[in-house]
Every structure is written in structure tokens, then in C-alpha cells.
Amino acid sequence: MLASLVLTVSIKIDYKELFEATKDFKALILGIITQIFLLPLLTFIVVSVFSLNAQLAIGLFIVGSCCGGSLSNIFTDLSNGDIKYSVLLTSFTSILGPFTIPSNILFWSSLYPPTKEILSSFNINIWEMYLNIFLTLGIPLVFGIYLRSFHKNLADQVNLHLRKVALGSMGLIIIGMSVKYWQDALISIYTILPIVFSHNILAMTLGFLIGLFLTKQKQKTLVYEVGVQNSGLGAALVFQFFPELRVALIVCFWWSIVHVLNSYLFLKMTQKMKYFKQSH
């Protein structure tokens, strides 16, 4: 399921475009730094300021460390953002993901005493985590880029149906988690949901503020790239490495809903705000 979501991004990218992207070095570096460093830093600040409990904190560290999701590309397209920039940022953060995701989760968790303590109770094999994320992200990413670069017609045919498969997969993940953890989700509406909602709003605001240094099209794009994280991957990591942390799993569940809702609200805002209309 997660592989299909990654493939929807990579199948649009020719390897030559990855090299061409470095020509707009400023935009590329700002986007990567915002997602890979500033968002986890923001998450650490939120967790520390509100003294969140260990399970809730580690759930936020996980989603805050994940790479962008393919939904960011869809919302960027709908809002007339820079779709090429969106796809390239998602691709670059996914390429770096097998290394940056485990490193960020473990680094930031080790700085917050409650999560540092809870991590010590798990026998985490860091190399297994690296390998797991590489298999989830790396293989479909490389395969998609290969198809687009050397078998363009086949890539076009696959891409016609892939988005439906990817959206269906995301729906199945959310439905599956809802069915299994609906009681936990209901209980957490007044506790976990407001925190996840606020965290996501802050993430999108971070993208907006850093985007002030870019064109308005790229600014809209960065809002989605920072606000829409691969929460399905986050849930998979919780299942495999932190199976006893149900609260962390609920954080991933609520994030998968909240980032869609907030992205839709931002989409409607951009359609009415004069600030963004001036970019067309």
C-alpha cells in the first residue's frame, strides 16, 4: 500500500529533472532543510513547551520526521502551485528518508527525557529501521524514476491508474486503523486530536514563513510539503518498532485525517486571498 503512494510521486520524475532541480538551489535547499531539520525542531519545541507525555511525544516525533506524502502533490496541483517543485521535494526527501527518518526520530526523542526513557525500554535495531524504510521508500522510488526515464510510454499508462490505487490504499489504511482503534480514537478526540491539529497548523505555518523567501507558487507548495507528511509510513514504523505505544499510533491516525482537512482549508484560502492571486 505504502509503495503505491511513493510510486505515484517517483513515476513522474525523469532522472534528468533531478539534476536540473539543482539549478534552483535556493528553493531546493530551503525546502529540504525545512522538512528534514526545521519541522522536527518545531516538533521538539512543541513537545517540550507543553510537556507532553512520552507516547504522545514520540508519535509527534515520528510523523514530524517522515517525508512528505503524495497528497501534497495533489493539493499543490489543485491550488496552482509549483507542481514540479512539489514532486521534486517529495522525491528528494524520500530519497534521503531511509537515513534521515530514523536519525531524526532517535535524535529528537533522545533529547526529551520522557521519550528517552521509553526508548530505552525497546530493543531498537537501528539498521533494521534503516533497511525497513529503504525497502518502503527506496525501491518504489527508484523503480518509478527508472520507468519515467527509460520507458516513458509505459510510465504514462501506469500513471493513469496509479493515483486511484494510491488514494484507495490511503483510504484502506485509514479505514483499517479506524476499525481496529475506533475506541481509542473516540477517547482521544478531546485530548490527542487538538494537539495533532495544532501541530499540523504550526507545520503549515512554518512552510508559509520559509516560503516568504521563494515565489508565491513555491510558497504554496512548501506549505503542503511541510504540512502533509507520510503518516502511513509513520504508522508502519510504530507497528514494527513500537507496537506497545498505542497513543503514538493514534497520533499517526489523526494526522492522516488532519493534514487532509487543513490542506483543503488552505486550498480554499488560497483561492480567495489576494496575496496568492497576485502570483498568477
Of 109 and 120, more confident: 109
Per-residue pLDDT, 113: 95
Please state the rounded mean pLDDT for residues 185-203: 88
For residue 48, what pLDDT is reported?
Answer: 96
Q: Which residue has the higher pLDDT, 180 or 240?
A: 240
Angle between helices 83-111 and 54-65 (to 10 degrees): 150
* The pLDDT of residue 161: 72
Highest mean pLDDT among 73-77, 158-162, 175-179, 180-184: 73-77
Please, are residues 64 and 228 in contact by the beta-carbon 8 Å criterion?
no
CATH architecture of 2-277: Up-down Bundle (1.20)
* Domain regions of the chain by residue span: 2-277
pLDDT band at residue 246 under the 50/70/90 scheme: confident
Tell me the C-alpha to C-alpha distance, in Å, between residue 132 and each of 86, 125, 129, 277: 25, 11, 5, 43
DSSP 112: S
Q: Which residue has the higher pLDDT, 255 or 77?
A: 255
> What's the Cα-to-Cα distance from 204 to each of 77, 126, 144, 253, 258, rounded to whole Å?
17, 30, 28, 18, 12
Among 35-39, 45-49, 111-115, 164-168, whose mean pLDDT is lowest? Answer: 164-168
pLDDT of residue 97: 86
pTM score of the predicted model: 0.85
Q: What is the pLDDT of residue 34?
A: 96
